[in-house]
Amino acid sequence: MIRPRHSLLGYLPPREAALATEFFGAFALAEYSLKTLGYIRQGREDAQADWSTYARTIQKGFREAAPRQFERAWEALTQHPPRKQVSVAGRLAWKDTPRPAGMSDAAWGLLLVRRIRNNLFHGAKFTLGGSDQFRRDRDLISAALAVLDHAMRLARPVARRTRSNTAA
């Protein structure tokens, strides 16, 4: 029997708990930043970050002059992307989801970061599967952190343009 605890992080070894905490914090800050910059999905009552529009905004500089850490993370994230957890006949399963044709690097990278966030938040990371799966989860979350960090660094020029446009 699984006994609920107050925190999913209480189930994790210290290294994985620290990584999950760092990722959740970075992701929350990124979503908040996007919304404060005006990247909010339209046609919804709830305020959701508009990752797709942001991806279009940063696409030009997304892979240009990217730091080496980003390039290693990009390779790790895109060569073995996270799978999507689905329900098949009422049972949990995993689905490989290839990159849609025509999707930009920025859009694909941010989609993968969000998928990792969803898997982790909804309990599908660091659960079962042995040490190889833990290593894969740790590698994916570390790569997602590096890609998210790089994508959000590109927000600085966007924020400057946004402030200068509203100040005029």
* Residue partners of 134: CB distance under 8 A and separation at least 6: 16, 126
> What does the pLDDT read at residue 166?
47
Looking at per-residue confidence, does 24 or 92 come out higher?
Answer: 24
Instruction: State the DSSP code for 85.
Output: E
User: Given the structure tokens 């605890």, which residue do they identify?
Assistant: 5
The candidate with the shortest Cα–Cα distance to 119, out of 146, 84, 148, 144, is 84
Average pLDDT over residues 128-133: 58
How high is the mean pLDDT of the chain? Answer: 83
> What does the pLDDT read at residue 85?
84
Domain boundaries, the chain: 20-37+52-162
How would you class 153 by CB atoms within 10 Å of its CB: exposed for 0-12, middle for 13-18, buried for 19 or more? Answer: middle
How would you class 33 by CB atoms within 10 Å of its CB: exposed for 0-12, middle for 13-18, buried for 19 or more? Answer: middle
**Does pLDDT of 167 surpass 50?**
no
**Does pLDDT of 111 surpass 90?**
yes
Q: SS3 for 86? A: strand
> What does the pLDDT read at residue 137?
84
pTM metric for this prediction:
0.82
The 10s digit of each residue's pLDDT in 48-90 is 999 999 999 999 889 887 888 899 999 999 998 998 888 899 9
Lowest-confidence pick of 12-26, 51-65, 70-84, 118-132:
118-132
> What does the pLDDT read at residue 78?
94
The candidate with the shortest Cα–Cα distance to 151, out of 113, 99, 101, is 113
CB 54 within 8 A of CB 39: yes
